Amino acid sequence: MANAPGYTVWGVVNADASIQPGSSTNFTVESSQPGVYTINFDPPFTAPPAIVGTQCQYDKPGAPINESTKDGLVFPQVTANSATVETGNSLSTWVPRTFSFVAMGAMNA
């Protein structure tokens, strides 16, 4: 079976769900509640993509670095059309945080 053409979506999303300049332009983001975001892929993938991400203090170098190694994010639901992102603190509480992500998968030719 031949591989479908590859498709990549990447970005840095601020805690308020705004998208940082330099991100790809093929997605939108909305926040349904503090610390919960939906990334909408446009156009969608043909199947759920592989996706990775991390919390970050994008474009804010130097001290203080407030994140704990226990802070994190998860993608509890990923479909061809969207991904749900939850960001949280070291107490496992949803907290709005800036994060970066890369999603890669196949798209229709």
Domain ranges of the chain: 6-106
For residue 1, what pLDDT band results from cuts at 50, 70 and 90?
A: very low
pLDDT digits (tens, 9 = 90+) for 11-30: 999 999 999 999 999 999 99
Question: Tokens 């229709």 — which residue?
Answer: 108
Main-chain dihedrals φ then ψ at residue 70, nearest 5 degrees: -85, -15
Most confident listed range (3-12, 40-49, 69-78) = 40-49
Prediction pTM value: 0.88
How would you classify residue 35: left for phi > 0, otherwise alpha for psi between -120 and 50, otherwise beta? left
Q: In terms of C-beta density within 10 A (0-12 exposed, 13-18 middle, 19 or more buried), how is residue 36 classed?
A: middle
Residue 69: predicted pLDDT: 77
pLDDT digits (tens, 9 = 90+) for 49-99: 999 999 987 556 666 666 677 888 999 999 999 999 999 988 889 999 999
For residue 109, what pLDDT band results from cuts at 50, 70 and 90?
A: low
Report the C-alpha gap between 108 and 60 in whole angstroms.
38
**CATH for 6-106?**
2.60.40
